[in-house]
A and B are shown apart, each in its own frame.
Chain A
Amino acid sequence: MSGYDQVPEAARPFLGPTPSGKPVPVKVLRKDRLDWKEKVALIEIFKGMGFTLREMFRPRFTIQFPEEPFPRHPSVKGRPVLAKNPDGSIRCVSCGLCEFVCPARAITIDPGETSDPIQREPRDFQIDMLRCILCGMCEEACPEEAILMSDELLMATDARPKALHHLEDLLVPVEKLQERIDYTKRMYRKWNRPQS
C-alpha cells in the first residue's frame, strides 16, 4: 500500500497526479451556471438600495473617537493611576507590593515620610508606560485601593520621556475611580476567596 491510498478519497484531487502518472478525474460539485434571476441582477440591486435607504433614517451610532468619549464598562483596564483622597492626600503608602508584583517591572517607587512622620507616601511614583502591559496585577496586589486601572486608553506619545508617568501625572481624584473600585471589590472577592 502506498501513502496515496491512505489519503481519503475526497482529498485525493489535491494531491496532484497519482503515483501511476494518470490524472485523477475531477468532479465539480457546486452549481456553475446562473439562472435567469441571477443573470438580470436588478432584483439584488434594488434590495441593496432599499437597505441603504432604510439605514439613512436610522439613528447614527458612530462615535467620533477620540474627540467624543465613549462609555466603557468598569472592567476595562486602561492606564494605571493613583487615587487621591478628597482632602488631597495620596492613598498610596508606597508599600512596594505593586513594584514587586509587576511582571514588566514598569513601576519604580521612591518612598518618603508624610508631614506626619509615622505615615509614608511616595515622593515619586514612576510608571514606565512603554513597559506597562496593563495586566492589572498592581491593582490586585494593592492593599490600600490606591493604584487602580482607569478607563484611559490613549497612551501614545511622540517622545520616550513622556511615556514615563510621574506622581503628578498619575494622581486622579478618587471619585472618578469609584466605579472601578466597586467593581474590583466585587470581582476580587469572588476570585480570591480564601481556599480553606
Chain B
Amino acid sequence: MAKIKVNGREVEAPDGANLLLFLNDTLGLNIPHYCFHPALEKVGSCRMCQVEFVMRRKDPDGKESVRRVLGVSCRETVRDGLEVETHGEAARRARKEAMEFLLVNHPLDCPICDKAGECRLQDYAYQTGQLEGRTIEPRRKEEKLVDLGEVILLDRERCILCTRCVRFFKHFEGRAQLGVVERGDRSHIAAFYDQPLTGNYQGNLADICPVGALTLKKFRFKQRSWDLTPVPSICPLCSRGCNIFVDVARHGVVRRIRPRLEPEVNGYFICDQGRLEFDDLNMVEERLRFARVRREGRLVERPMEEALAEAARLVREAGEGLLALASPFLTVEEGEAFLALTEKAGFKGFWSPPPTGLGDRHLRTDDPCPNRRGLEKAGLQAVHKEALAAAIPSASLVFLAGERILRLLPPEVLSLCAVKHVILLERVLGGLEGAVQVALPGASWAEKSGTFVNADGRKQRISPALRPPGEAAPDGRILEEIRRLVLLQGSGKEEEK
C-alpha cells in the first residue's frame, strides 16, 4: 500500500494501481473520462481526466518549493508521496475547456441518438453546466451513416476520436480493423480499405463508444435507453456463461442484451451471438400459451390442472417404459426436479448437442449447453444421438422437457419420436403435433430463475426478466407439480375434482 494525498487528505492506495480507477472506483470522485477504458491501453488523448499534481521539493537552502502541474490521471500509477488536487480551480477549468472543445462540433442529435441517456458526453455536459455553445461558426458536417458491416453503424459527426474502438480491435481481438485516417481536424475513424468489420465481437463497439458514434444496427431507433430495465442474468448460448444484462422495455419486450462486468468470466465484453440472438424471447404467435391435451384424437386447449393430471397419469402408467429427455437449457434446480420425476424411467438424461464449431480463443466455446456441468452434477447423464436413437423404439412414452429441445434434437430423432406417445414441455409445438399427448407451456431462460454452472464450474444465477404468457410457467414448477400428482395418484388419494 502506498500513501497518497488526494485533495489534501491522506489515503492509502494499492501500489501500482491506476490513479483514475482508484479516484473513481474507490474514492467515488467521478472524474470524467472518454478515451480511458479499464480493458484497453491507456492513451490519454481526450484530456478529460486532468487533475492537478502537486510537487513539493526541498531546495538546498532548506526552503520548500511547490510546483503544480496539470496532467491526465488515467496514465498515472499510484506511488508513495503522490499528491493530487482533483477539484481545484485549475483542474476544473482544464476539464471544462477540454469538454468545450469536444462539444464544438458535436451535433445536437440527442433526441434521435440511441446513446442518449447513457452517453458520457451528455452526462458530463450537464455536470459542467455550460449548456450553450459559445461558437458562432457553423458545425462541421460529416457522414452521418457509415455502414461498418452487419452489426455496427458509424456516425462520424458524433465521434469525439477517443479511439477506444481502434484499440479494442487491436488489443482485445489482436487484429486491427479500424483506424484514424487523415490528420488534424480532418481525422476520422474508418475501417481499413472500407471493408466491413468481421469477427464475433463487433457489438462491443457500441458499448465501449462513450458517445453515440458507434451504434448497434439491431437496436437502432428501437427504444430510448431510459425506458429499459436491466435485469442481470447469464447468457445461455454457450458453456462460457457470460454475465449479461437483459434490457427489457416497458411492455415486456427484450430490446437489447449487453455485457455485465465479471472479471472472472467475461470481463467487459460478450460475443455477438449472445448479444444479438434474442428474438425468440419476444416470440408471440408461435408460443404455446395454454396447456393442450389430446381428446378424441385432437389436441385441444385445456386448463393447466387437467393437463398436469393427464401427464402424471401417463408418466405413472408408463413406469419403466418412460424415456425422459431433458433439454440442456434446464437449470440445476430443474434438473433435480426432472430427475426426481423420472426416477422410474427406463432411459433418462439430457440431450447433448454436438459441438457447434463456433468457439474461439476469447469467450465463445464450442459447447452449446449453458448448464452441462450443472446437470451432470445434479445426476443427469449426457445423451448422444446413437444411444437415443437406439432407446426410442423400445419406449412406450417419450417425455421431452425444456426450452429449445425440439430445435436442438436432430430431425431423425424427432421422426422416431413422432410415432410414439409424447409429453412435451416446451414453448412451441413445432413438428410433433401428431404425437403429442400432452403439451405443457414452458418458459424461456429469461422467464425463470435458477442456477447455471458454466464450463469452469462456476455457479451463476439467472433471474426472470419477462413474465411467461398465458398459463405458461417455469419448467421447474411444472415438473414438481407433475411429480406431486404422480405421488398422489400412486398412493390412491386421487384428488376429487
Residues of A within 8 A of B (CB): 93-97, 99-100, 111-113, 117-120, 143-144, 194, 196
Contacts and interface: CB of A to CB of B under 8 A. Distances in A.
Where chain B touches its partner, the secondary structure class is loop
Nearest to A194: B131
B221 A113 contact: yes
B174 interface: no
B131 A120 contact: no
Given A100-B226, A196-B129, A95 B112 contact: yes
Interface string B145-174: 100000000010000000000000000000
Nearest to A146: B111
B144 A94 contact: no
Indicate the size class of the contact surface on chain B. Answer: 10 to 19
B306 interface: no
A103 to B, nearest CB: 14
Which among B111, B129, B223 has the highest number of chain A CB atoms within 10 Å?
A: B111
A144 B224 CA distance: 16
Contact of A120 (B112, B129, B145, B226): B112
B221 A112 contact: yes
Nearest to A92: B111
Contact of B227 (A96, A117, A143): A96
Contact of A100 (B129, B131, B145, B224): B224
Given A117-B145, A118-B145, A144-B111, A96 B129 contact: no
A143 B111 contact: yes
A118 B276 CA distance: 22
A120 B224 contact: no
B459 interface: no
Nearest to B251: A108
A93 B227 contact: no
A118 B220 CA distance: 10
Contacts of B144: 118
B222 interface: yes
Contacts of B224: 95-96, 99-100
Given A94-B221, A196-B129, A119 B112 contact: yes
A158 B222 CA distance: 34
Contacts of A97: 111
Interface string B209-229: 000000000001111101100
21 contacts: A93-B112, A94-B221, A95-B111, A95-B112, A95-B116, A95-B224, A96-B224, A96-B227, A100-B224, A100-B226, A100-B227, A111-B221, A111-B222, A112-B221, A113-B220, A118-B144, A118-B145, A118-B155, A120-B221, A143-B111, A196-B129
Contacts of A118: 144-145, 155
Contacts of A196: 129
A90 to B, nearest CB: 13
Contacts of A96: 223-224, 226-227
Contacts of A94: 112, 221
B227 A99 contact: yes
Nearest to A96: B224
Interface in B95-136: 110-112, 116, 129, 131
Nearest to A196: B129
Contacts of A95: 110-112, 116, 224
B222 A93 contact: no
10 smallest A-B Cβ distances: which pairs?
Answer: A95-B111, A96-B224, A118-B144, A111-B221, A120-B112, A93-B112, A120-B221, A143-B111, A118-B145, A93-B111
Contacts of A117: 145
Contacts of A143: 110-111
Contacts of A112: 221
A24 to B, nearest CB: 66
A96 B110 CA distance: 11
Contacts of B112: 93-95, 119-120
Given A95-B116, A96-B224, 9 more contacts: A94-B112, A96-B223, A97-B111, A99-B224, A99-B227, A100-B226, A112-B221, A113-B221, A194-B131
A194 B132 CA distance: 11
A111 to B, nearest CB: 5
A177 B222 CA distance: 29
Nearest to B129: A196
A26 B154 CA distance: 91
Interface string B460-490: 0000000000000000000000000000000
Interface string B79-91: 0000000000000
Interface in B393-443: none
A69 to B, nearest CB: 34
Nearest to B113: A95
A119 B144 CA distance: 10
A100 B225 CA distance: 11
Contacts of A119: 112
Which among B112, B145, B223, B226 has the highest number of chain A CB atoms within 10 Å?
A: B112
A118 B145 CA distance: 7
A93 B155 CA distance: 18
Contacts of B226: 96, 100
Which among A96, A99, A111, A194 has the highest number of chain B CB atoms within 10 Å?
A: A96
A99 B221 CA distance: 14
A84 B111 CA distance: 18
Nearest to A97: B111
A145 B221 CA distance: 20
